[in-house]
């Protein structure tokens, strides 16, 4: 894996994240200001947010706007966690003290998720169409007014129609590692999504008792208002 480390620390990538010393990856170093010019051949961009949060935020936004195919991983200290915002556009974060096994796992999963998203920019399930590029969801060609998190949750379910996901899995994939709330958050957002889909289509999001939720393309109420056959 080719990793580009963005930092204003001249010490190098292994100073930013010591665990890199023990991992077999190609490491390149660049300053925040060169983010857009240097990211082209990187599989993953590691952004140093240990002290310069403003520089890290700007680098994230620059790369997100450039629609880079590389995953964006923040290295942030405990004191900076409260300042992180999802609007920066990063994919995941890690503490500088993380051990090599954790860093390797996060890097690999991040790159796999990013590649998966790149190949699935849009999803169409029955009467439902979800466009990741425009953040627009349409039901029978009528746009739905969804929040960012509702969109991400529905998109994830739609990209895996018929597959059942636990609440914990959805919380991890949609809200991320930096979210400390409970799985009840998933239930609340599912209820809101069903309400916005309306009475005829709310059953597209099915509940599997004792397990979790799935998106069922055939789960539409019939014209008489009954459940699907």
Domain closes at, from 73, 94, 118: 118
Kind of pairing, strands 128-131 and 136-139? antiparallel
Provide the domain limits for residue 108: 2-118
Provide the terminal-to-terminal Cα distance of the chain, rounded to the nearest Å.
Answer: 49
Specify the number of domains making up the chain: 2
Do 164 and 173 form a contact (C-beta atoms < 8 A)? no
pLDDT for the residue 44: 93
| Per-residue model confidence as pLDDT tens for the chain (229 residues) | 999 999 988 776 778 999 999 999 999 999 988 877 777 778 999 999 999 999 999 999 888 877 777 889 999 999 999 998 878 889 899 999 999 999 999 999 998 887 766 545 556 788 888 887 678 899 988 999 999 899 999 999 988 888 999 999 998 888 876 666 778 899 999 999 999 999 999 999 999 998 999 998 876 655 444 444 3
pLDDT for the residue 27: 92
Residues 180 and 105 in one domain: no
pLDDT for the residue 135: 80
Q: What distance in Å separates the CA atoms of residue 135 and residue 158, rounded to the nearest whole number?
A: 14
Structural domain includes residue 143:
yes
Do 30 and 5 form a contact (C-beta atoms < 8 A)? yes
Closest residue by Cα to residue 131 from 116, 151, 110, 160: 151
Residues 6+ apart with CB under 8 A from 180: none
Q: What distance in Å separates the CA atoms of residue 139 and residue 125, rounded to the nearest whole number?
A: 10
pLDDT for the residue 124: 79
Residues 108 and 143 in one domain: no
Domain closes at, from 52, 87, 118: 118
Q: What distance in Å separates the CA atoms of residue 48 and residue 103, rounded to the nearest whole number?
A: 14
pLDDT for the residue 161: 86
Assign residue 44 the CATH number of its domain.
3.40.50.2300
Structural domain includes residue 229:
no
Q: What distance in Å separates the CA atoms of residue 137 and residue 14, rounded to the nearest whole number?
A: 42
**Predicted structure pTM score:** 0.53
Which position has the token pair 């018929």?
162
pLDDT for the residue 122: 59
Structural domain includes residue 78:
yes
Do 209 and 201 form a contact (C-beta atoms < 8 A)? no
Domain closes at, from 118, 145, 176: 118
pLDDT for the residue 117: 62
Structural domain includes residue 224:
no
Residues 23 and 111 in one domain: yes
pLDDT for the residue 202: 93
pLDDT for the residue 74: 94
Structural domain includes residue 223:
no
């Amino acid at each position: 894996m080719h990793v580009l480390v963005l930092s204003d620390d001249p010490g190098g990538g292994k100073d930013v994240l010591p665990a890199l010393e023990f991992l077999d990856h190609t490491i390149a170093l660049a300053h925040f200001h060169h983010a857009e010019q240097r990211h082209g051949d990187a599989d993953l961009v590691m952004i140093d947010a240990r002290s310069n949060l403003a520089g890290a935020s700007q680098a994230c936004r620059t790369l997100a706007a450039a629609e880079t195919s590389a995953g964006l991983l923040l290295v942030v200290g405990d004191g900076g966690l409260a300042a992180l915002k999802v609007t920066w556009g990063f994919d995941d974060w890690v503490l500088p003290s993380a051990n090599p096994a954790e860093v390797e796992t996060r890097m690999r999963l991040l790159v796999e998720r990013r590649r998966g998203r790149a190949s699935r920019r849009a999803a169409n399930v029955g009467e439902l169409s979800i466009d990741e590029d425009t953040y627009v969801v349409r039901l029978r060609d009528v746009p739905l007014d969804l929040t960012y998190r509702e969109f991400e949750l529905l998109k994830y379910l739609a990209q895996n129609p018929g597959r059942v996901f636990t609440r914990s899995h959805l919380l991890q994939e949609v809200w991320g590692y930096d979210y400390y709330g409970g799985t009840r958050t998933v239930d609340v957002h599912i209820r809101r999504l069903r309400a916005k889909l309306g009475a005829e289509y709310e059953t597209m999001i099915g509940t599997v008792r004792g397990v979790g939720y799935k998106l069922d393309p055939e789960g539409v109420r019939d014209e008489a208002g009954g459940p699907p056959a």
